[in-house]
Amino acid sequence: MALDVVREQVEYRELLVRITGRDLLLRYKQTAMGFGWAIFMPLVNTAIFSIVFTRVAPVDTVVPYPLFAFCGLLAWNWFASSLRFAVTALSSNASLVTKVYFPREILPFSAVLVGFADLAVASIVLVALMAWYGIVPGLALLALPVVVAVQLLFTMAVALLLSMANLFYRDVKYLFEVAITIWMFATSVVYPIERVGGRLGVVLALNPMTHIVDAWRAVLLEGTLPPAGAFAATAAVSLVACAAAWLLFHAAEFRFAENV
């Protein structure tokens, strides 16, 4: 069954490309800044958190804090923005879900790919900041595709579950905004998570997104590979979660039309 699911996705790959292109155009349609929003928001958040964590409550980071924060926000925004659109991917495409046959997972997957396009645009600023602070990537940069792949798997897993859950329980899209905000501060996005000790620190260390965000910083800013044990465990969790979510999505697919 798993092979059939993947094979079907490959057969409909052109549809995924077309829906991704459509969603990308709709996201910035009739906006003055267009793709500029993909750069503007991380910059604003970086400026705000830089004031907080360099003036109000200073934290020690391996690299200059603005660079630390922007890199973390870059990775996090791909995750969060993908889920923000994936949560309503099925419910907002009722006519497609009920009248046309295609692999329904294309809709949440499209949200993840659109979020990746935003990340690619905002990466231009990250490169500029690295040049400004004199950070030159080392050979560890070769591991970046692996980091991206792990985050892609984990994001797709959560996107599938959220889009399906919101179709059955419309409260999910409202609870999501609260949950994603809490999740961000439980992740090593704007401060080093190792500063949190005790039982809370142990719980926060179980968060897969923390290890993914730290992996981005390791290969891009620190010139080192991510800690092998933690990152390997995160990769395994992401792979299993994506496979399980995909199969669960297909098992519930026959009930989608009646719940739209």
What are the tens digits of pLDDT across the range 49-58?
Answer: 999 888 887 8
Q: What pLDDT sits at residue 92?
A: 86
- pLDDT (mean) for 104-123: 93
Question: Which of 83-92, 114-123, 231-240 has the highest average model confidence (pLDDT)?
Answer: 231-240
Sign of CA dihedral 227, 202, 179, 9: positive
What are the tens digits of pLDDT across the range 31-42?
Answer: 666 677 778 888
Contact call for residues 173 and 88 (beta carbons, < 8 A): yes
3-state percent helix, strand, coil for the chain, nearest multiple of 5: 80, 0, 20
What are the residue boundaries of the structural domains of the chain, listed by start?
2-259
pLDDT at position 1 over 70: no
Going by pLDDT thresholds of 50, 70 and 90, the confidence category of residue 4 is low
What are the tens digits of pLDDT across the range 166-217?
Answer: 998 888 999 999 999 999 999 999 998 887 777 888 888 899 999 999 999 9
Q: Look up tokens 């950070």; give the residue.
A: 135
Whole-model pTM?
0.92
pLDDT at position 231 over 70: yes
